[in-house]
Structure 1
Amino acid sequence: MSFESALALMGFAFVMSISPGPGNFLLLASGANFGFSRSLPLVFGISLGFLSMVFGVGVGLGQVLAEFPVLYTALRVACAAYVLWLALKIGRSRALGPGETEKMAAPISFVQASLFQLLNPKAWAVALIVTVSYTSAESYMTSLLLLIAVFAVVNIPSISVWALSGSALRNLLAKGNRIAVFNIGMALLLIASMAPMLLMN
């Protein structure tokens, strides 16, 4: 991969990673409810889930989905169910303090975050774009692994900004019922951010 291609990939990775989307809304909500350190499994799960997807697409999984549309349909149905479950979990959370009965019991786990990315149609589309655009036919596997490494270096710090931003809001949201309103808003944003991908033909 040339220096120019690496810079272009880093720019693409930054824009895709930092821009609003379902994974980043989850990170913002988790940071606000649990703080940054307890949201780290979510950060790494989201990143690993996506990077695993890039590798899968790179070795032919994307072609399998194209040849068997029923698999992609099943993916979208599973994604819709999972997003609604996550939104319900976030939206029902009401408190930051210990001992509150309606607070989220625990942050979204590393495994749940990884699965979320694997069920995210937007992430599949980005994975397809990046593997087609930034790999070389002459040294395909090497360029694919290098692509994944570069994307990881940019992706993890970029999405961490969302968890840090949520954590910075904790003191503000701890007053009154602000956290309840915030979590309902995050749940609605999560659903809205996924709706175009889930409803497209």
Structure 2
Amino acid sequence: MSLAAFTALYFVHLAAAMSPGPAVLLAMRTSLREGFVRGVWLAIGIGLGACIWAAAALFGLALVFKIAPGLLSVLKFAGAAYLLWLAFKMWRHASDPLETDLPRLPQDRSPLRLIWLGISTQLANPKPAVFFGTIFLTFIPPAAPLWAYAAILGIVFFNDAGWNVIVARVFSLAKTRAAYLNLKSVIERVFGGLLALLGLKLALT
């Protein structure tokens, strides 16, 4: 692959990574509630989840969808159900009090749990599957060498994880956090409502 092909791939995928969606929304919420470090762990999971979709695309995801188009529908409804479940949890606990001090990571929110949340959120959303299985593949030559595949996966991880680290940093700042604490119930319900809308849109389109 040429440098121009890598550059085009980088910017096309960066635009996709930066587009608002469930992963970015959860990065915002996690960093607001739990601080920058936890947001970074989540961002790592988001990056790994994107790499899974990208690897699947590189090794035949588009062909699978062409052979079994019903699989995409199954992924859509399963992903929509997962997003609606997350939205329900946010809405239900919107009025719960939140400690103003950030404690150490408790057992149920360990780095591994946060990484898995990032991965599962990405895998529950079939839109990355569509992106990687269509637009993404048009930038990759059919006979690309294995080293190019490794570099491509590195780009995908860097873009998705890196963007969500930036999101985590912005939403973990003291001023942002103070505003969140003052409007916790409203913000949590807005986040929950947005996730629910994303889930419904996913199921209906």
TM-score tier, shorter chain, comes to 0.7 to 0.9
Mapped to 1, the partners of 2:168 and 2:200 lie a distance apart of 23
Partner residue of 1:174 out of 181, 190, 202: 181
Partner of 2:105: none
Mapped to 2, the partners of 1:120 and 1:6 lie a distance apart of 25
C-alpha contact 1:27 1:162 (8 A) present in aligned 2: yes
Distance 1:156 1:113, change over 3 A: closer
The CA RMSD measured in Å over matched residues stands at 2.2
C-alpha contact 1:9 1:134 (8 A) present in aligned 2: yes
Q: Deviations over 1:63-114 (max 9, x none)?
A: 2233223322221221121101111222223333169xxxxx7486211321
C-alpha contact 2:36 2:168 (8 A) present in aligned 1: yes
Task: Please tell me the residue identity of whatever aligns with 2:62.
Answer: G
1:109 match: secondary structure: helix
Mapped to 1, the partners of 2:138 and 2:34 lie a distance apart of 37
Partner of 1:165: 170
Partner of 2:143: 138
Partner of 1:70: 70
Matched ranges for 1:178-189 at <5 A: 178-189=183-194
Residue ranges of structure 2 left out of the alignment (5+ in a row): 102-107
Partner of 2:32: 32
Q: Deviations over 1:118-170 (max 9, x none)?
A: 12121111211354122122225433322111222232221222222221211
TM-score, normalising length from structure 1? Answer: 0.85
Task: Please tell me the residue identity of whatever aligns with 2:124.
Answer: L
Partner residue of 2:156 out of 151, 154, 161: 151
Partner of 1:7: 7
TM-score, normalising length from structure 2? Answer: 0.83
Partner residue of 1:97 out of 93, 96, 99: 99
Q: Deviations over 1:29-72 (max 9, x none)?
A: 11111111112221111110111111012111332233223322
C-alpha contact 1:36 1:167 (8 A) present in aligned 2: yes
1:174 match: secondary structure: helix
Mapped to 2, the partners of 1:40 and 1:14 lie a distance apart of 18
Mapped to 1, the partners of 2:196 and 2:145 lie a distance apart of 36
Mapped to 2, the partners of 1:152 and 1:115 lie a distance apart of 15
Matching of residue 128 in structure 1 with residue 133 in structure 2? yes
Residue ranges of structure 1 left out of the alignment (5+ in a row): 100-104
How far apart are 1:197 and its partner, in Å?
2.9
Mapped to 1, the partners of 2:143 and 2:65 lie a distance apart of 25
